[in-house]
């Protein structure tokens, strides 16, 4: 059995060979790449990607990357296409066909129908000499390089280069469209990224009847009732027009009791409230609110509008419960 050093040597040799394949690919990025991007940008339908075997696996990943970065795309299996799935392809689409040799029988069988539909064809292959690139509107090439497989049989370096070329196309299109992080999040709403980018304070804050509010002359016994009833650990103190004057929190109560060894329950809250509390806009991202709460070492934010009127309260618990991190 090979020793660990042999395993490591094999791994490093594979990395070197596949890096060389990417270096060769870099020499193939030319005006054909520009024209392919222009065709893809002008596509009014979907970018359909096809390929057999390992090329098909890479094609599926390429389609997923395109779709998540602003280019509507899906994968079509060439074998199934010949038995009805070619109906997926319609005028207005663009077809990207992948074959390292450039002569996949399954894809070549579809050529007459592809031509009949008038769908632009972009091929990805090792060279532009095979029948597929010869029939293409744009032939993208990987260049001549060795497979990392010592037998020269298993697609390794060639699939890596194809994957990299697909990423290069997706990123070029993303940049040309001005695709933003918000756009990306809209196609990933269920993941952590979606929560980070799509959730705002206004989506999670307590408003309406849940919002604790008292006037500055409210006696402390009523203040404590408001805090207990609304269960947010604080109450806001507002004037007649809902402008924020201060807050009084559970922590303020503990400090008041400790300092005064009890207090007069008829005391107006204006005498003990915290003035100029930390506030946040309802348009702030939820993740920013969490970061600021941690930075300030506080548990809640009062949410105010541009006139400093109270419109909500958001707490650390609300953010954590929503999965914001």
Phi-psi region at 39: left, alpha or beta (left = phi > 0; alpha = psi -120 to 50): alpha
| Whether residue 314 has pLDDT greater than 90 | yes
In a domain, 196, yes or no: no
Burial environment of residue 268 by CB neighbours within 10 A (0 to 12, 13 to 18, 19 or more)? middle
Quick one: 220 and 104 in the same domain? no
Total-model pTM: 0.66
Show which of 179, 211, 229 is a domain's final residue: 179
In a domain, 159, yes or no: yes
Inter-helix orientation angle 157-177/31-42, to 10°: 60
The pLDDT-based confidence of 83 (bands split at 50, 70, 90) is: confident
Backbone Cα Rg of the chain: 31
Segment of 78-82, 178-182, 235-239 carrying the highest mean pLDDT? 235-239
- CA 321, CA 315: separation in Å to the nearest integer? 10
Quick one: 71 and 160 in the same domain? yes
Least confident among 132-136, 178-182, 244-248: 178-182
What is the average pLDDT across 172-180?
83
The CATH number linked to 249 is: 3.10.580.10
- The answer to whether 244 and 269 have CB atoms below 8 angstroms apart is no
| Whether residue 219 has pLDDT greater than 70 | yes
The pLDDT-based confidence of 192 (bands split at 50, 70, 90) is: low
Show which of 179, 211, 230 is a domain's final residue: 179
Quick one: 142 and 238 in the same domain? no
What is the average pLDDT across 35-39?
96
pLDDT recorded at residue 188: 53
Q: Does residue 147 sit in helix, strand or coil?
A: coil
Cα–Cα separations (whole angstroms), residue 91 to 7, 86, 87, 257, 295:
50, 12, 11, 76, 55
| Whether residue 179 has pLDDT greater than 80 | no
pLDDT recorded at residue 264: 75
Quick one: 119 and 264 in the same domain? no
Domain span at residue 163 reads 4-179
Q: Does residue 279 sit in helix, strand or coil?
A: strand
Quick one: 162 and 238 in the same domain? no
Place of tokens 């870099």: 26
pLDDT recorded at residue 250: 87
- The answer to whether 100 and 126 have CB atoms below 8 angstroms apart is yes
| Whether residue 29 has pLDDT greater than 60 | yes
- Let me know how long the chain is: 325
- CA 301, CA 278: separation in Å to the nearest integer? 6
Q: Element (H or E) spanning 310, and its range?
A: strand 310-315
- The answer to whether 162 and 60 have CB atoms below 8 angstroms apart is no
Quick one: 21 and 93 in the same domain? yes
Quick one: 51 and 174 in the same domain? yes
Question: Mean of the per-residue pLDDT values for the chain?
Answer: 89
Least confident among 67-76, 131-140, 250-259: 250-259
Quick one: 136 and 221 in the same domain? no
In a domain, 160, yes or no: yes
Neighbouring residues of 33: CB distance < 8 A, sequence distance ≥ 6? 140, 168, 169, 172
pLDDT recorded at residue 8: 87
DSSP 8-state class, residue 36: H
pLDDT recorded at residue 88: 85
In a domain, 186, yes or no: no
The CATH number linked to 9 is: 3.40.50.10490
Structurally, the chain folds into a number of domains equal to 2
- CA 166, CA 175: separation in Å to the nearest integer? 14
| Whether residue 190 has pLDDT greater than 80 | no
- CA 271, CA 263: separation in Å to the nearest integer? 12
In a domain, 187, yes or no: no
| Whether residue 65 has pLDDT greater than 70 | yes
Q: Measure CA 179 to chain center.
A: 11
pLDDT recorded at residue 260: 67
pLDDT recorded at residue 302: 95
Quick one: 89 and 146 in the same domain? yes
Quick one: 246 and 289 in the same domain? yes
In a domain, 96, yes or no: yes
- CA 306, CA 57: separation in Å to the nearest integer? 52
Cα–Cα separations (whole angstroms), residue 145 to 168, 179, 194:
19, 34, 39
What is the average pLDDT across 307-321?
92
In a domain, 215, yes or no: yes
pLDDT recorded at residue 180: 65
| Whether residue 68 has pLDDT greater than 90 | no
What is the average pLDDT across 121-138?
95
Quick one: 222 and 283 in the same domain? yes
pLDDT recorded at residue 86: 81
Cα–Cα separations (whole angstroms), residue 4 to 8, 9, 14, 90, 148:
6, 9, 15, 53, 19
Q: Does residue 62 sit in helix, strand or coil?
A: helix
In a domain, 192, yes or no: no
Quick one: 206 and 175 in the same domain? no
């Amino acid at each position: 059995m090979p020793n660990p050093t042999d395993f490591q040597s094999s791994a490093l040799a594979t990395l070197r060979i596949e890096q060389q394949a990417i270096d060769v690919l870099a020499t193939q990025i030319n005006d054909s790449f520009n024209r392919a991007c222009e065709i893809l940008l002008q596509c009014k339908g979907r970018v359909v990607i096809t390929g057999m075997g390992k090329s098909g696996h890479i094609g599926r990943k390429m389609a997923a990357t395109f779709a998540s970065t602003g280019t509507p795309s899906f994968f079509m299996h060439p074998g199934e296409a010949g038995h009805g799935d070619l109906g997926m392809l319609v005028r207005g689409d663009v077809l990207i066909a992948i074959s390292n040799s450039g002569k996949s029988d399954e894809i070549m069988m579809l050529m007459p129908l592809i031509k009949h539909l008038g769908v632009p064809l972009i091929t990805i292959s090792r060279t532009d000499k095979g029948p597929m690139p010869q029939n293409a509107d744009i032939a993208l090439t990987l260049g001549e390089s060795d497979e990392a497989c010592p037998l020269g049989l298993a697609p390794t370096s060639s699939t890596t280069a194809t994957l990299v070329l697909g990423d290069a196309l997706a990123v070029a299109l993303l940049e040309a469209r001005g695709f933003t992080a918000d756009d990306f999040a809209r196609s990933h709403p269920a993941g952590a990224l979606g929560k980070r980018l799509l959730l705002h304070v206004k989506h999670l804050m307590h408003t309406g009847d849940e919002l604790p509010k008292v006037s500055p002359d409210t006696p402390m016994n009523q203040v404590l009732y408001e805090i207990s009833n609304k269960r947010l650990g604080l109450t806001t103190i507002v004037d007649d027009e809902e402008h924020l004057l201060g807050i009084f929190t559970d922590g303020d109560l503990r400090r008041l009791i400790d300092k005064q060894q009890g207090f007069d329950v008829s005391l107006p809250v204006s005498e003990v409230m915290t003035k100029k509390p930390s506030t946040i806009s309802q348009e702030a991202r939820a993740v920013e609110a969490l970061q600021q709460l941690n930075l300030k070492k506080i548990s809640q934010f009062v949410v105010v509008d541009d006139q400093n009127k109270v419109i909500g309260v958001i707490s650390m618990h609300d953010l954590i419960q929503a999965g914001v991190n």
